């Protein structure tokens, strides 16, 4: 499934290729988030032509609740349902059960929760979240885990990790006992948890590595802890996760977070930041971060990002985008989201190029200063 093609000489960064039934994905890769079967505000052709996304995310929690597994089954799976023939990774819903639903109760068996949409009661288990993802037909499935809150004391974190590991065993068992519903190969990634506790993270990384799955994920980070804590945990975990499998840092993050994590051996990322913050007028550019609502852009008729990778970044002016965002025009959200995602994905492409050239570390050091500048 995965092949490391280049290794940076000075850092742990690597460039590789993930192969799924729906195409090849060069890594490092950023995966646009398409929670409910749609990357918010972006038509598929723009995802393909302007952003060049090779893989997007879907979410088990959302799609299970709406439109529901039966519609998903009748449609022939998520790819067909949403007319997307490139790769899809689906999150297990673990994170959403804890962040969105109400009245959730955990037990050894799984999680009982109420829908954030209509209050109906549901149960997620390690087994049924595999079954649902089989119906979704995602290329990469995630195990059901508990994403512990931050801050969280050691005792809670330890218990939570134990539960996540118990669930991992059951998920892997179900995965091995079942076949893809739609005939295309599906992979399953375990998720390393353990908060910011080094020993729990090591334990969890060993547990994940021991499952022998095609790839591994690191969850429970970027939930409020300082960035340095996150980087430290990533380093510890990546010492243990196998070199020859892709490593996916879930829900991360800013362009700087991502480059720092690539340097520490991470291959895959996802985050709502480029779309969610984009809808609110925050733009990531090669020169730094723009808050387009700022008065200073009122009569700045230069392009959003003259060197930007997307057509929309070069076509539309800052003043126009500011006007759209302030006026609450949908088009403002569309342009910002396309721009930000195209920026994220082109940054991955550049990172990959620098890894190939063997000077990732130097390049990273030079760009992160600019990337976090507030313009």
Residues within the interface to a copy of itself (CB under 8 A) = 36-46, 66-67, 70-71, 74-76, 80-83, 298-299, 301, 311-312, 315-317, 319-320, 322-324, 326-327, 329-335
> Which residue in the list 46, 139, 267, 270 is annotated as catalytic?
270
Which residue, 70 or 228, is less far from a copy of itself as judged by CB?
Answer: 70
Which residue, 10 or 302, is less far from a copy of itself as judged by CB?
Answer: 302
The answer to whether 168 touches 190, Cβ cutoff 8 Å, is: yes
The answer to whether 293 touches 40, Cβ cutoff 8 Å, is: no
Tokens 């800013």 map to which residue? Answer: 254
Three-state DSSP class for residue 170: helix
Which residue, 5 or 317, is less far from a copy of itself as judged by CB?
Answer: 317
The answer to whether 267 touches 27, Cβ cutoff 8 Å, is: yes
- Residue 121 burial (C-beta neighbours within 10 Å; 0-12, 13-18, 19+): exposed
Cα–Cα distances (Å) from 135 to 34, 70, 254, in that order, read 17, 9, 32
- Residue 91 burial (C-beta neighbours within 10 Å; 0-12, 13-18, 19+): buried
Minimum Å gap between C-beta 82 and a copy of itself is 6
Q: What are phi and psi of 118, to 5 degrees?
A: -135, 10
Which residue, 62 or 207, is less far from a copy of itself as judged by CB?
Answer: 62
Contacts 24+ apart (CB under 8 A), 76-79: 76/137, 76/182, 77/135, 77/136, 77/137, 77/181, 77/182, 78/37, 78/136, 78/137, 78/138, 79/22, 79/137, 79/182
* 76: nearest Cα among 136, 161, 25: 136
Task: Give catalytic status of residue 91 as yes or no.
Answer: yes
Minimum Å gap between C-beta 355 and a copy of itself is 33
- CA pair distance 41, 53, nearest whole angstrom: 15
Which residue, 66 or 166, is less far from a copy of itself as judged by CB?
Answer: 66
Minimum Å gap between C-beta 336 and a copy of itself is 12
Minimum Å gap between C-beta 123 and a copy of itself is 22
Which residues on neighbouring strands pair with residue 317, listed in sequence order? Answer: 303
Minimum Å gap between C-beta 72 and a copy of itself is 10
Minimum Å gap between C-beta 70 and a copy of itself is 8
> Which residue in the list 46, 91, 267, 305 is annotated as catalytic?
91
Minimum Å gap between C-beta 65 and a copy of itself is 10
The answer to whether 39 touches 61, Cβ cutoff 8 Å, is: no
Which residue, 216 or 277, is less far from a copy of itself as judged by CB?
Answer: 277
Which residue, 6 or 73, is less far from a copy of itself as judged by CB?
Answer: 73
Three-state DSSP class for residue 173: helix
The answer to whether 37 touches 81, Cβ cutoff 8 Å, is: yes
Task: Give catalytic status of residue 118 as yes or no.
Answer: no
Active site residue ranges: 91, 270
């Amino acid at each position: 499934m995965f092949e490391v093609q280049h290794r940076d000489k000075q850092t742990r960064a690597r460039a590789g290729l993930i192969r799924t039934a729906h195409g090849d994905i060069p890594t490092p890769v950023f995966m646009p988030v398409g929670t409910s079967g749609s990357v918010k505000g972006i038509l598929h052709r723009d995802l393909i032509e302007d952003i060049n996304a090779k893989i997007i995310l879907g979410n088990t929690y959302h799609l299970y609740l709406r439109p529901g597994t039966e519609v998903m089954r009748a449609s022939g799976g998520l790819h067909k349902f949403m007319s997307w023939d490139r790769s899809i990774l689906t999150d297990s819903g673990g994170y959403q059960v804890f962040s969105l639903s109400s009245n959730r109760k955990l037990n050894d068996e799984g999680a009982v929760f109420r829908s954030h949409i209509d209050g109906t009661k549901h149960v997620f288990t390690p087994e049924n979240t595999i079954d649902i993802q089989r119906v979704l037909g995602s290329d990469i499935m995630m195990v059901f885990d508990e994403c512990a809150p931050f801050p969280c004391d050691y005792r809670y974190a330890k218990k939570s990790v134990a539960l996540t590991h118990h669930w991992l065993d059951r998920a892997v068992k179900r995965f091995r006992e079942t076949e893809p519903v739609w005939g295309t190969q599906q992979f399953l990634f375990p998720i390393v948890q353990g908060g910011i506790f080094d020993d729990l993270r090591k334990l969890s990384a060993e547990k994940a590595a021991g499952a022998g799955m095609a790839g591994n994920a690191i969850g429970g980070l970027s939930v409020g802890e300082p960035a340095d804590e996150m980087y430290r945990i990533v380093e510890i975990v990546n010492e243990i996760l196998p070199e020859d499998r892709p490593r996916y840092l879930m829900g991360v993050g800013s362009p700087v977070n991502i480059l720092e994590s690539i340097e520490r051996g991470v291959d895959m990322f996802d985050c709502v930041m480029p779309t969610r913050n984009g809808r609110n007028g925050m733009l990531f550019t090669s020169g730094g971060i723009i808050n387009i609502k700022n008065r200073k852009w009122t009569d700045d008729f230069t392009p959003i990002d003259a060197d930007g990778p997307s057509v929309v970044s070069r076509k539309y002016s800052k003043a126009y985008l500011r006007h759209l965002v302030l006026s609450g025009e949908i088009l403002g959200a569309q342009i910002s989201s396309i721009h930000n995602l195209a920026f994220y994905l082109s940054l991955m492409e550049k990172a990959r190029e620098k890894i190939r050239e063997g000077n990732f570390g130097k390049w990273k050091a030079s760009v992160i200063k600019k990337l976090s500048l507030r313009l």
